[in-house]
Amino acid sequence: MRIISNLLVLCFIGIIAQSQSLIAGTFNVRYDNKGDTGNLWVDRAPICANLIRFHQFDIVGTQEGLRNQIDDLQSMLPEYAHYGLGRDDGKAAGEHSSIFYLKEKFIAKDSGDFWLSETPDKPGFGWDARNNRICSWVKLTTRTGNKTFYAFSVHFDHRGVIARKESAKLILQKIKTIAGKTPVVLVGDFNGGHQSEWYNTLNNSDDLKDVYGKAPSPYTNNGSFNSFQSRNPSKEIIDHIFTTSHFKVKRYGILTDTYHGKFPSDHYPVLAELILW
């Protein structure tokens, strides 16, 4: 019996050793709007960078960042690399849904983008959307343990209801085509809470689940959108982190960091500590 017990302990230790812990996040950084008096990007940029570093994100999907904002974050976070193209031309124009990842932890094996539209392989509006919408992805392999997974970052349209419904269906199709059975983390601003049809299309699918529902004691004192207002009463979470079943969730929280009474963005970042088996 002692031999069997020892073997079981060794097997368990081996499984733990092969698992990989990572901190994933989603962060709508608010586009560089010159009309955001009192909340200009030039002031918020170092705050956003410090927040990402302090909370030790291994990977974080950002939304709304214009090219200059992505460049600013990259220059302030040299320990990270990033991927993501502009939604308006597939190069640098327009907002990005970039993914930042720690260079010391991951090697990028592949990357790509697709648009949330009926013609996903090229820039363009989809359905009743008001803007071009892009989803960027990167295939990452851990430097230790040789674990591979895909990270997707997306921003759903804020006006088009049909676009949001169809975007959820397209996301599922694309993830299946691109990642196959490889583990996936999908993060983004979905412009819809837990009751929205597009959220439930993703969360009730066979492939993805919101980590919020799998986390012990989620830290959700606020909703994820603050509109730069300290007394925003909304408790709705519209920024989400979904994963395939390959991940266990250790903790989940909405980060309500402020500086001198101001906010790094009009969205709060969302963090999840995950274990990839």
Total domains in the fold of the chain: 1
201: pLDDT strictly greater than 70: yes
Tens of pLDDT, residue by residue over 37-66, are 999 999 999 999 999 999 999 999 999 999
- Closest among 245, 189, 182 to 213, alpha carbons compared: 245
- Using CB atoms within 10 Å of the CB of residue 132, give its burial: 0 to 12 exposed, 13 to 18 middle, 19+ buried: buried
149 Cβ contact partners less than 8 Å away, ≥ 6 residues apart: 139, 140, 182, 183, 184, 185, 246, 276
For residues 212 and 272, give the distance between their C-alpha atoms in angstroms, rounded to a whole number: 8
120: pLDDT strictly greater than 60: yes
What is the pLDDT at residue 232? 81
Helices marked H in the chain — which ranges? Answer: 2-18, 41-54, 67-76, 161-179, 197-203
Would you place residue 236 in the very low, low, confident or very high pLDDT band (cuts 50, 70, 90)? Answer: very high
- CATH number of residue 150's parent domain: 3.60.10.10
Task: Give residue 224's domain range.
Answer: 2-276
Structure tokens at 34: 């010159």
Tens of pLDDT, residue by residue over 207-223, are 999 999 999 999 999 99
147: pLDDT strictly greater than 80: yes
Structure tokens at 44: 């918020």
Which CA distances in Å does 203 have to 132, 178, 214, 241?
A: 24, 19, 11, 10
For residues 272 and 26, give the distance between their C-alpha atoms in angstroms, rounded to a whole number: 9
For residues 112 and 105, give the distance between their C-alpha atoms in angstroms, rounded to a whole number: 20
For residues 76 and 171, give the distance between their C-alpha atoms in angstroms, rounded to a whole number: 31
Q: pTM of the predicted model, to two decimals? A: 0.94
